[in-house]
């Protein structure tokens, strides 16, 4: 007896349908069956097996290696210097002055504007790119954005892994996911380097850290959890311009990359506030309590802007510490189990004989 | 009641008045707001147009005549399904179905609770336990070659399983999982797929992999993790196969993680104009269907689309948990309609029935660019894995009974014989050939060395052209090289272990020996 059709939502049954018997001749004619008519005929003429690597147009390879470390002096003279991003490279190979030598056209953006700009670039240059996540709705500007509800949170990372596995470029936004540690990070290693197929990439964006009114649940700094996930890259941009560059670099990277976006950078004046703190103009410096005034002459302080925390560039940081003999690590996350202690351990192991003072760790640092 | 309300209104306002109005604005849970958020405390967060609040009440109105009770005196329901009244209700008089969150519903004055969409979901089959054609059933289009290829794999898998299972018992490989009892479900479904389709397995689908043409040699190489293990380079536990050229994705240990991945792959196929006509099949167990990922995957696939066959191997157990402790509803199939998926339950021990059902499922999936759920009812004859002893939780007579009364191989063979496609002599020859081939590949694989020791450090992160291996990896590699230089010849366990690898670890000793 043939199965009866179940009409799911109202629990009725249709009349059983007669089986359709397809003779070989009929199969060769252009025979179409409606979706509702069951058919157990073999699909006509299976296509020849195809080589399985996605013909994805891979975006231009970056001409210079993307930097993971930037170095600058902490006390800067001008706003331009403070806003400059050391180590920033442009895909066209020209520096900050651009191909004309007269500078580049720039726009002032906050973090999310910069990210949106980067996503726009990714979507415009790669037809296999999709941007998705919980409640992502960019409007009709980009062809491939879609809105998902919160219910799917658990599936988002896995969905992206599958999308990337067959050669797509998945850019997800999530709140969290242990998938990243257990599946995404291990796919390349476990498959002997075979997956994701050519052109496939997974980028996950997640906002972290506090912004002032986040309370318990929207102020956490979970980046430390991901330090142990070999195979995963974890980056944290410090400024909108870094965010744009790092998102694009992440999308072009075959490794799964998590881009943690400090929520504080979404404030339009965040960058200026940082600059103010690091470079009080003379008039303001006079107003500062003596304790906060920069000593004269100012000590030489080197600021290391750690952008990639997994893999942790411990060797490079240790080399820098060997020159100064002292180091203070500052981050917003708590002390225990965070990047700071991990880094302190590495520095202690590698540069012990160069240290002139205990390694300082200023954790839970949040100034706004 | 009245007093408490008065109390509330009298005391509350002072508190709420101090609360800034922006608390009610968009919360951070949903990610970045659509435009620049303001500096804390200076101005309001811009959101969408404010909703009317409170919802305006319609003008008060006393109906002039009592509402007519449509045919209530007959005791008949307001709308009989399929009736004119129901059609009218659906066509216009009811509020928009989408607004109600359902596609087909109608108003009813009867308060009816239900716990199933149909009384019991029937199980489709073509052949019965004896291998006879079920009355009214229709044999799917199948050639002699196809049928014999299916039978070939169905009889090959038990031999492979037996040899590898025993070898684990003897300590020659570390772990193994058998397919026993599920040969028809796995081979029947694999036979319904096409070469360019993508396949996501759980871990018990080696029969599908073999059917797609995975060489025995590669299977053994993976289980031994030897130098020929191209797929996982000796890094994975046995049975964690992958075959990108056959569209067989990496098996991983965490349960049900293949499911959202299959939804993602199906969506990629839906978007890719070069891949129209291809399909994804995703295998999962009855236990895996209790994971949240099952629901996430079906939810995403049903909403976003993408051709995908969700193939549940309902084999009665998730390790020691019988299905009676796994779900209280009507199996896994009953969940398909919840996601709006075309769904079928099929006798998983009937290879022809599975072939037929999955072919039709594939056609629906491809034509509709959507998911289709297939629940194959079967029985796990073997232990869950080599780490399990199933006699602790099920009577061995039950297992015995399944292999005798409902044997998938027997059933399919009866069909072949009835067709005149198979004879006893051919069977004896096939079994002999299979056995000698398996044993030959097995002993060859066992003798092969392991890959180069340095392979363990590659591919942790993909390294692009011009990039260096991350220092966290290169330093560990150098450290191992340094230790090997120092102790590799003098410490007996290492001296012995080194011999098992190609180049005996020399490849990692290329460093200056300093390490971190
Ligand atoms: C997330 C997760 N939880 C638990 C396990 C342990 N585990 C491995 S197999 C298995 C049973 C799965 O049963 P089922 O899905 O029915 O597949 P079957 O073994 O019957 O083929 C369990 C619980 C796991 N691997 N991953
Ligand atoms: Mg099971």
Asked if residue B477 and residue B352 are part of one domain, the reply reads: no
The residue among B109 and B146 whose pLDDT is bigger is B146
Judged on CB neighbours under 10 Å (0-12, 13-18, 19+), A13 is exposed
The reply to whether A112 and A220 lie within a common domain is: yes
Judged by CB atoms closer than 8 Å, whether chains meet at B254 and A183 is answered as yes
In a domain, B249, yes or no: yes
Q: Do B264 and A263 touch (CB under 8 A)?
A: no
Backbone angles phi, psi at A10, to 5 degrees: -120, 5
Cβ-based burial of A351 (10 A; exposed 0-12, middle 13-18, buried ≥19):
buried
Give the whole-angstrom CA distance, residue A356 versus residue A322: 10
Where a domain ends, among A271, A290, A325? A271
Rounded average pLDDT over B446-461: 95
Whether residue B108 is predicted with pLDDT greater than 80 in this model: the reply is no
Q: What is the 3-state secondary structure (H, E, C) of chain A?
A: CCCCCEECCCCEECCCCCCCCCCHHHHHCCCCCCCCCCCCCCCCCCCCCCCCCCCCCCCCCCCCCCCCEEEEECCCCCHHHHHCCCCCCCCCCCCCCCCCCCCCCCCCCCHHHHHHHHHHHHHHHCCCEEEEEECCCCHHHCCCECCECHHHHHHHHHHHHHHHHCCCEEEEECCCCCHHHHHHHHHHHHCCCCCCCCCCEEEEEEEECCCCCCCCCCCCCHHHHHHHCCCCEEECCCCHHHHHHHHHHHHHCCCCEEEEEEHHHHCCCHHHHHHHHHCCCHHHHHHCCHHHCCCCCCCCCEEEEECEEECCCHHHHHHHHHHHCCCEEEECCCCCCCHHHHHHHHHHHHHHHHCCCCCEEEECCCCC
Which residues on neighbouring strands pair with residue B343, listed in sequence order? B373
Q: Are A288 and A201 in the same domain? A: no
* Range in A48-52, B58-62, B212-216, B477-481 with the lowest mean pLDDT: B58-62
| In-domain check, residue A15 | no
Lowest average pLDDT, out of A102-111, A154-163, B421-430, B485-494, goes to A102-111
Please check whether residue B269 touches A, CB under 8 A.
Answer: yes
Q: Which of B401, B421, B446 is at the close of a domain?
A: B446
Nearest CB to A255: which of B235, B356, B462? B462
A300 shares a domain with A175: no
Let me know whether B383 and B457 are in one domain: no
Nearest by CB: A3 against B257, B272, B344: B344
Cα–Cα distance, B469 to B462 (Å, whole number): 8
Q: Which two tokens stand for residue A250?
A: 């992440």
The verdict on the CB of residue B178 being under 6 Å from ligand 1 is: no
Task: Please indicate, yes or no, whether residues A238 and A102 belong to a single structural domain of this protein.
Answer: yes
Cα B388 to ligand 2 centre (Å): 14
Same domain for A284 and A202: no
List the beta strands (DSSP E) in B94-210. 198-200
Count of domains observed in chain A: 2
A347 in any annotated domain: yes
B319 C-alpha vs ligand 1 centroid, how far in Å?
7
Residues A173 and A222 in one domain: yes
Number of domains chain B is built from: 2
Nearest-CB residue to A161 (from B138, B264, B470) = B264
pTM of the model: 0.77
Substitution target from B246, B264, B359, B374 for chain A, most A beta carbons within 10 A: B264
Question: Which of B414, B446, B478 lies at the terminal end of a domain, its last residue?
Answer: B446
Q: How many residues make up chain A in this entry?
A: 368
pLDDT, tens digit only, all 368 positions of chain A = 333 323 222 223 333 333 333 333 333 333 233 345 667 777 777 778 777 765 444 444 444 333 334 444 444 455 555 556 666 677 777 766 777 777 777 777 777 778 888 888 888 888 888 888 765 544 323 333 343 334 455 678 888 888 888 888 888 876 555 567 778 888 889 888 888 887 788 898 888 888 767 777 777 888 888 888 899 999 998 888 888 888 899 998 989 999 988 887 776 554 443 433 344 445 555 666 676 666 666 667 778 888 899 999 899 899 989 988 999 888 888 888 889 999 999 999 999 999 999 999 888 766 44
- Identify whether residues A323 and A359 lie together within a single domain: yes
Residue B463 is assigned to a structural domain of this protein: yes
Residue A345's CATH number = 3.40.50.920
| pLDDT band of B371, cuts 50, 70, 90 | very high
Q: CB-based contact (8 Å) between A28 and chain B?
A: no
B325 and B463 co-located in one domain: no
More confident residue, B51 or B260: B260
Q: What is the phi-psi region of residue A103: left when phi exceeds 0, alpha when psi lies from -120 to 50, beta otherwise?
A: left
A266 shares its domain with A290: no
Alpha-carbon dihedral sign for residues B16, B19, B22, B25: negative
Residue that finishes a domain, picked among A271, A306, A334: A271
Q: Encode pLDDT of B9-22 as tens digits.
A: 334 444 433 434 44
Q: CB-based contacts of B509: which residues, under 8 Å, 6+ apart?
A: B481, B484, B485, B488
| Res A280: pLDDT | 42
Q: Where are the alpha helices (DSSP H) in B350-423?
A: 351-368, 396-405, 408-419
Residue with tokens 């994971």: B291
Q: Are residues A181 and A303 in the same domain?
A: no
pLDDT > 70: percent of chain B: 77
Domain boundary among B425, B446, B467: B446
Establish if B125 belongs to a structural domain.
Answer: no
Q: Looking at the structure, tell me whether residues A289 and A258 fall in a common domain.
A: no
Does residue A353 sit within a domain? yes
Contact of B263 with chain A, judged by CB distance below 8 Å, is answered with yes
Q: Rounded to whole angstroms, what are the CA distances from A9 to A337, B78, B106? A: 50, 18, 11
Do residues A243 and A322 share a domain?
no
CA dist B343 and B420 (Å) reads 34
d(CA A328, CA A188): 36
User: Is the same domain home to B202 and B323?
Assistant: yes
- Residues A288, A262 share a domain: no
A211 part of a folded domain: yes
Tell whether B240 is within 8 A of chain A (Cβ).
yes
Q: For chain B, give the mean pLDDT.
A: 84
State whether B345 and B375 are in the same domain: yes
- Helix (H, G, I), strand (E, B), or coil: what is residue B450? strand
Q: Which atom in ligand 1 lies closest to the alpha carbon of residue B315? A: 20
- According to DSSP, residue B24 is labeled G
Q: Please judge whether A11 and B135 are an interchain contact, meaning their C-beta atoms are less than 8 angstroms apart.
A: no
Q: From CA B366, how far away is CA B270, in angstroms rounded? A: 9
Q: Tell me which of A237, A271, A305 is where a domain ends.
A: A271
Tell me, yes or no, if B193 comes closer than 8 A to chain A by beta carbon.
Answer: no
**A343 lies in which domain range?**
279-364
CB contact under 8 A, B471 and A152: no
Instruction: List residues, by chain if needed, whose CB lies under 5 Å from ion ligand 2.
Output: B 285-287, 315, 318
Residue nearest to atom 21 of ligand 1 (CA): B285
Phi, psi dihedral angles at A4 (to 5 degrees)? -90, 150
Q: Which ligand is nearest to the CA of B290?
A: 1
Same domain, B261 and B223: yes
Query: How many Å apart are CA A198 and CA A201, to the nearest integer?
Result: 9
Whether ligand 1 lies within 6 angstroms of the CB of B189 is answered as no
CA of B384 to the centre of ligand 1 (A): 9
Residue-level pLDDT at A219: 79
> For the segment B44-56, what is each residue's pLDDT rounded down to a tens digit?
444 566 666 666 6
Partner-chain contact B464 A254, CB within 8 Å:
yes
Report if residue A42 sits inside a domain: no
Judge whether B109 is closer than 8 Å to chain A, CB to CB: no
Instruction: Return the pLDDT at B487.
Output: 93
C-alpha–C-alpha distance, residues B325 and B317, integer Å: 9
Looking at residue A346, what is its pLDDT? Answer: 94
Residue A33 lies in a domain: no
**Residue B78 domain-assigned (yes or no):** no
Mean pLDDT along residues B343-353: 95
Same domain, B405 and B460: no
Is residue B173 included in any domain, yes or no? yes
| Residues B423 and B493 grouped into a single domain | no
Count of other CB atoms within 10 angstroms of residue B430: 16
Range of the domain at B497: 453-508
Confirm or reject contact between B249 and chain A (CB < 8 A). yes
Is residue B342 pLDDT above 90, yes or no?
yes
The reply to whether B30 falls in a domain is no
Q: What is the DSSP string of B316-361?
A: SEETTEEGGGT-SSSTTTTHHHHTT-EEEEEETT-HHHHHHHHHHH
Q: Is residue B348 domain-shared with residue B428, that is, in the same domain?
A: yes
Assess whether B179 and B281 both reside in one domain: yes
Å from CA of B198 to ligand 2 middle? 22
- Residue B170 has a pLDDT of 94
Residues B498 and B361 occupy one common structural domain? no
In a domain, B425, yes or no: yes
CATH number of domain containing A240: 3.40.50.970
Chain A 324-363, residues with CB within 8 Å of chain B CB atoms: 349-350
Would A48 be classed as within a structural domain? no
**Is residue B160, in this structure, part of any structural domain at all?**
yes
Do residue B441 and residue B468 come from a single domain? no
Q: What is the mean pLDDT of residues B66-95?
A: 50
Tell me, yes or no, if B355 comes closer than 8 A to chain A by beta carbon.
Answer: yes
């Amino acid at each position: 007896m043939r199965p009866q059709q179940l009409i799911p939502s109202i629990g009725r049954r249709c009349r059983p349908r007669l089986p359709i018997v397809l003779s070989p001749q009929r199969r060769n004619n252009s025979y179409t069956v409606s979706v509702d008519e069951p058919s157990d005929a073999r699909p006509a003429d299976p296509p020849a097996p195809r080589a399985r690597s996605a013909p994805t147009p891979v975006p231009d390879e970056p001409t210079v290696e993307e930097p993971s470390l930037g170095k600058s002096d902490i006390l800067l003279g001008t706003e331009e210097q403070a806003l400059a991003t050391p180590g920033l490279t442009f895909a066209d190979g020209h520096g900050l002055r651009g191909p004309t030598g007269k500078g580049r056209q720039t726009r002032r953006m906050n973090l999310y504007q910069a990210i949106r700009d980067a996503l726009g670039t990714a979507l415009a240059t790669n037809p296999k790119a999709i941007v998705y996540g919980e409640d992502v709705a960019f409007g009709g500007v980009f062809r491939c954005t879609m809105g998902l509800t919160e219910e799917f949170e658990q599936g988002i990372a896995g969905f992206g892994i599958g999308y990337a596995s067959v050669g797509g470029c998945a850019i997800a936004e999530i709140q969290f996911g242990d998938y990243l540690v257990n599946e995404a990070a291990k796919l390349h290693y476990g498959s002997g380097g075979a997956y994701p197929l050519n052109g496939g990439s997974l980028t996950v964006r997640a906002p972290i850290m506090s912004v002032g009114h986040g309370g318990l649940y929207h102020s956490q700094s979970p980046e430390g959890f991901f330090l142990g996930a070999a195979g995963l890259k974890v980056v944290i941009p410090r400024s909108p311009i870094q965010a744009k560059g790092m998102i694009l670099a992440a999308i072009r990277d075959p490794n799964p990359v998590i881009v943690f976006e400090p929520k504080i950078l979404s404030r339009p004046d965040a960058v200026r506030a940082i600059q103010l703190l690091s470079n009080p103009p003379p008039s303001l410096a006079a107003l500062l309590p003596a304790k906060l005034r920069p000593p004269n002459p100012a000590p030489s302080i080197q600021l290391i802007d750690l952008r990639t925390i997994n893999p942790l560039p411990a060797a490079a940081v240790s080399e820098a510490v060997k020159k100064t003999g002292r180091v203070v690590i500052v981050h917003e996350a708590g002390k225990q189990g965070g990047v700071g202690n991990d880094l302190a351990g590495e520095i202690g192991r590698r540069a012990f004989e160069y240290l002139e003072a205990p390694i300082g760790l200023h954790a839970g640092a949040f100034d706004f | 009641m009245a007093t408490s309300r008065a109390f509330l209104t009298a005391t509350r306002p002072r508190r709420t008045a101090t609360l800034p109005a922006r608390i009610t604005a968009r919360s951070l849970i949903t990610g970045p707001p659509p435009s620049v958020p303001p500096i804390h405390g200076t101005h309001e967060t811009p959101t969408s147009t404010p909703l009317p609040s409170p919802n305006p009440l319609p003008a008060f109105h006393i109906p002039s005549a009592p509402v007519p009770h449509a045919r209530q005196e007959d005791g008949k329901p307001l709308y009989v399904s399929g009736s004119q009244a129901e059609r009218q209700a659906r066509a216009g008089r009811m509020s928009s179905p989408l607004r109600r969150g359902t596609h087909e519903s109608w108003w009813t004055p009867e308060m009816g609770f239900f716990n199933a969409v149909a009384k019991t979901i029937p199980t489709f089959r073509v052949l019965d336990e004896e291998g006879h054609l079920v009355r009214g059933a229709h044999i799917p289009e199948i050639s002699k070659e196809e049928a014999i290829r299916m039978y070939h794999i169905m009889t090959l898998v038990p031999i492979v399983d037996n040899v590898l299972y025993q070898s684990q018992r003897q300590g020659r490989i570390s772990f193994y999982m058998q397919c026993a009892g599920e040969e028809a479900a796995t081979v029947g479904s694999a036979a319904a797929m096409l070469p360019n389709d993508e396949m996501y397995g759980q871990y018990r689908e080696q029969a599908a992999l073999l059917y797609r043409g995975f060489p025995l040699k590669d299977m053994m190489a993976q289980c031994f993790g030897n130098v020929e293990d191209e797929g996982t380079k000796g890094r994975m536990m046995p049975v964690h196969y992958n075959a990108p050229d056959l569209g067989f994705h990496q098996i991983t240990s965490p349960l049900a993680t293949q499911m959202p991945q299959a939804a993602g792959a199906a969506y990629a196929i839906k978007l890719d104009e070069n891949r129209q006509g291809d399909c994804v099949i995703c295998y999962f167990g009855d236990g895996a269907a209790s994971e949240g990922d099952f629901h996430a995957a079906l939810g995403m696939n049903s909403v976003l689309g993408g051709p995908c066959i969700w193939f549940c191997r309902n084999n009665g157990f998730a390790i020691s948990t019988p299905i009676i402790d796994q779900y209280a509803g009507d199996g896994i199939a009953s969940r398909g309609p919840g996601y709006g998926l075309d769904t079928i339950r099929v006798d998983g021990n009937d290879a022809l029935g599975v072939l037929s059902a999955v072919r039709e499922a594939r056609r629906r999936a491809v034509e509709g660019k959507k998911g289709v759920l297939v629940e194959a009812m079967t029985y796990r004859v073997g232990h869950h894995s080599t780490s399990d002893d199933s006699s602790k939780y099920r009577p061995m007579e039950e297992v015995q009974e399944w292999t005798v009364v409902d044997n998938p191989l027997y059933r399919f063979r009866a069909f072949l014989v009835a067709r005149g496609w198979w004879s006893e002599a051919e069977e004896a020859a096939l079994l002999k050939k299979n056995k000698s081939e398996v044993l030959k590949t097995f002993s060859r694989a066992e003798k092969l060395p392991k890959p180069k020791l340095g392979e363990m450090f590659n591919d942790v992160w993909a390294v692009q052209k011009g990039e260096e291996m991350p220092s966290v990896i290169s330093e560990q590699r150098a450290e191992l090289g340094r230790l090997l230089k120092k102790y590799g010849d003098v410490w007996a366990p290492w001296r012995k272990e080194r011999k098992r690898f190609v180049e005996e670890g020399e490849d990692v000793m290329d460093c200056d020996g300093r390490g971190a």
